[in-house]
Structure 1
């Protein structure tokens, strides 16, 4: 397990974990500046009171003033906890709340300095921390406001404290420090924020470019893949069939590359939202093994999956993507060696482990394996397909779903990647499992309405569907009249400001019923899902594997048949993105 995976130096990691437990933070909570400020306020207040209360008791001030200060300082401890609870209950950016908390902090420290005299001078450090802390966490405007509040605090202290009045140069020095230090920090903050905004825009531009390039290049790859599937059943000779196999193998490599680019650009966009549900982890692993059976055969890898009947709470599509990337890495770097996929209970949770018997990875590479675009390269190594995004996607998806991912490797013995933290849940009702396991019927006679604006993709898809026995009505635009069909397959971008959403609505309106629909797209699935507004419509990411398309079509047909007969509908098969 690498330092990067476990969060850095062990003592700091343990301290951070303890703080998260105490303050109720999850491992995947996004950085929240206001919450962080609230946590630090609670911790530092204890240090502040431990110093200032003894100072107040020995200051020689009148007893009523000392009593009032001590009561105020001790009362502020539960108040600071209350502030933290308010932040947790209503997270977000509230200007009035931040200013209120800032005023309370400043008032407490002003009271301490005005009462304590010379022994209370170190309280200024807490005051300066409040200025810089508010500025660094909330921005330059809050820095200016905090500096102004501190100047007022110092003026009040000077007016109320004899020691400060007797040492005007001390008071002036602290006031100048309050002006100079925050002013310099203000300038630096402006520059840092400008650089951050520029870097963020560059990163967004990169993500937009990757997404657009991936979409544009996936269309012809998708068409070639479908044409190749048609060639398989064209009665070719052994030599010609071998050439088709080689073409298909190359297409699979390109397809995985584009899927990785689309996945990373989608994660950069921040639009990926996990949709957890009970998942039969054994069935999911078996599905991944089936999807990689051909690639494993090419790589000379025998994949063994340990059966399990357990169910976990997870997003099936995202978990499949994680497992697909791990398996794809093992196929690339441990070709010709056996692979084992299984589950193990760890601390009341379930972990999915992928073990290979490859050459292993040198220790110096381990801390960087989850970095984007990082690949293990040694002098004389042969070229390996891919751009080094697989494990980076795995790590980011694990954080998104609140899971852990770790990697162990021993040179000469192999590598193990573990997805941990999966919560074990009860299986769904028996009726649903039986419906989901019902065997698929044949596709002969299935009437399909196919809408695709790219003519090459249209021809390839139509030819493939006809080979499966379907009756196909194909067009490059949504129909103007009712076309009787059992299922609609549509692209998302159809040109002329028309989308797959518009196509589905029009076809269903003309038919007067809810026709099953499938969307094929090269865009981000979450963007398409948001536009569709219907979680029951399957979305397939191009290039679509023929087996994947056939499986989803059968699942949709079964759902329609079950609905017509009054049986419980079958669950939609999870669409994976290897």
Structure 2
């Protein structure tokens, strides 16, 4: 029974420990303890506590232990991970050496029992309850071997009794605490999984109405409204934009807390990325009275385009709030061999006492008689954490009444020519979407209605379906939600249409889930993924690119 419990506890070691660090730490301590033990024995000899014969035998033992400790340390460095045989071998060296030296020196080395107790507790705290039970058993065995051959202990039975009680009670209490800690860890992990499931579902369910509202307000904006009605639509659109920004910030913070963001670093055209972000924020900048001045860098850098876009988006959002009515400069500086992405505004500036706290969660710069500014203080915290992920350094400098400079230092330039960039898109009037046949697949009725209405307003010919269509539907492009119902997904829908038509089907997938997860499920780099809530201008720009590709004549062979 005890053996099965011991093995079960060893298999269920504390998951919170970093095994390589724990075993390496134990190897470091073993080297230190062995060195101190040798020093203690030599001092004891010169103080008359040991004879020369005992000294020589104990020194030989501990020199052997020192070589074994060095070998174990090197083995842990070269072969990290859990090696049960290695731990058992190390424990055998530890208890064997201590027992042998106490056996030879008697009561003169009883102080080493404290080291035995320390090693026992250390094995339990580093490797879990199973190893604590095993170490306690070895400590009791050591005591059982030493007591019968130590006259001092036989003459004073209270001393071995105290040693026995200490050897049992201290590890026993540690075992109880570890059991409580492991139970708390299991409960915490279960709560984290439940929270993750709730947030994932809530994220998807909240994205749907925000997505539909954005599409409906765009439809209203394009209708023949009077000045008062158009002002109402502008107010709704502005409130929706604030809600969308807050929603994205909360999702970014949650994703960062769960350590789900993994940078996908690749060479990217920095000018193209910044131009896209500026275009996406043109309407918001206009409402805030901010002119975004983009200085071209003609530079490629190694970075993650999605994460870098999120950073610039958050920096611009802060500039719109705190530097409304002033121009914003966005550009790149040379810092040695590296580059620094810089945003400079001419707002009111930030007082020096606020600067050290700007990267903290929910920290907002508030002044006396300050107007209420939208947001909860997550933007710069997100920027700081993403910068750390990308290996960049966030620098903020500000002067009251002069403005604020925010820089991301450490961008690595890529040598070589930039890829050829497409010519700028012609205005909407010169590039209509009329005649573009779209098959729209969406199981949410309100989203289906809003999307179809907007697409028809843009001149597209739209056929709708709430699931996988039953037969062949002629179209130029498929727009499908990823989550259709419990029986199918957007990936299943595209696979079915491709099998039905016997060729690749141009498509756009819209999803409320993690984009990387959807990309793995679709497994087609030619299919763009749009994350809900989708901004109408993003969808329209993507549709224009499909329209251009479908109408561009093939090059002569």
Match of 2:527 in 1: 537
Q: What is the distance in 1 between the residues matched to 2:175 and 2:318? A: 47
Match of 1:85 in 2: 78
Are residues 1:233 and 2:222 paired? yes
Match of 1:303 in 2: 292
Q: Matched residue of 1:474: which SS?
A: strand
The equivalences for 1:437-516 within 5 A come to: 437=422, 442=431, 443-516=433-506
Decide whether the 8 Å contact of 1:49 with 1:74 is kept in 2.
no
1:172 Cα deviation after fit:
4.5
- Give the alignment's TM-score, normalised by structure 1: 0.78
Higher-Rg member (1/2): 2
1:461 Cα deviation after fit:
1.7
Are residues 1:285 and 2:274 paired? yes
Match of 2:241 in 1: 252
Decide whether the 8 Å contact of 2:24 with 2:76 is kept in 1.
no
- The alignment of Structure 1 onto Structure 2 pairs a total of residues equal to 530
Match of 1:522 in 2: 512
Q: Matched residue of 1:437: which SS?
A: coil
Which of 145, 151, 154 is equivalent to 2:134? 145
Which of 204, 209, 222 is equivalent to 1:220? 209
Q: 1:75 to 1:96 in 2, by over 3 A?
A: closer
Gaps of 5+ in 1: 1-29, 568-578
Q: What is the distance in 1 between the residues matched to 2:292 and 2:102? A: 71
Match of 2:36 in 1: 51
Decide whether the 8 Å contact of 1:311 with 1:425 is kept in 2.
yes
Q: What is the distance in 1 between the residues matched to 2:259 and 2:204? A: 18
Match of 1:74 in 2: 67
- Give the alignment's TM-score, normalised by structure 2: 0.81
Q: What is the distance in 2 between the residues matched to 1:106 and 1:536? A: 63
Greater relative contact order (CA < 8 Å, ≥ 6 in sequence): 1
Which of 11, 20, 27 is equivalent to 1:35? 20
Q: 1:193 to 1:104 in 2, by over 3 A?
A: same
Q: What is the distance in 2 between the residues matched to 1:511 and 1:171? A: 86
Q: Matched residue of 2:293: which SS?
A: strand
Q: What is the distance in 1 between the residues matched to 2:207 and 2:190? A: 25
Q: Matched residue of 1:543: which SS?
A: coil
Which piece of structure 1 moves more, 333-342 or 445-454?
333-342
Deviations 1:87-129 (A, max 9, x none): 1xxx4x5655554555555556556666676776665555444
Match of 2:263 in 1: 274
1:137 Cα deviation after fit:
4.0
Which of 534, 542, 549 is equivalent to 2:539? 549
1:360 Cα deviation after fit:
4.5
Q: What is the distance in 1 between the residues matched to 2:305 and 2:321? A: 24
Decide whether the 8 Å contact of 2:314 with 2:383 is kept in 1.
yes
Q: What is the distance in 2 between the residues matched to 1:525 and 1:462? A: 23
Match of 2:125 in 1: 136
Q: What is the distance in 2 between the residues matched to 1:210 and 1:283? A: 33
Gaps of 5+ in 2: 1-14
Decide whether the 8 Å contact of 2:480 with 2:510 is kept in 1.
yes
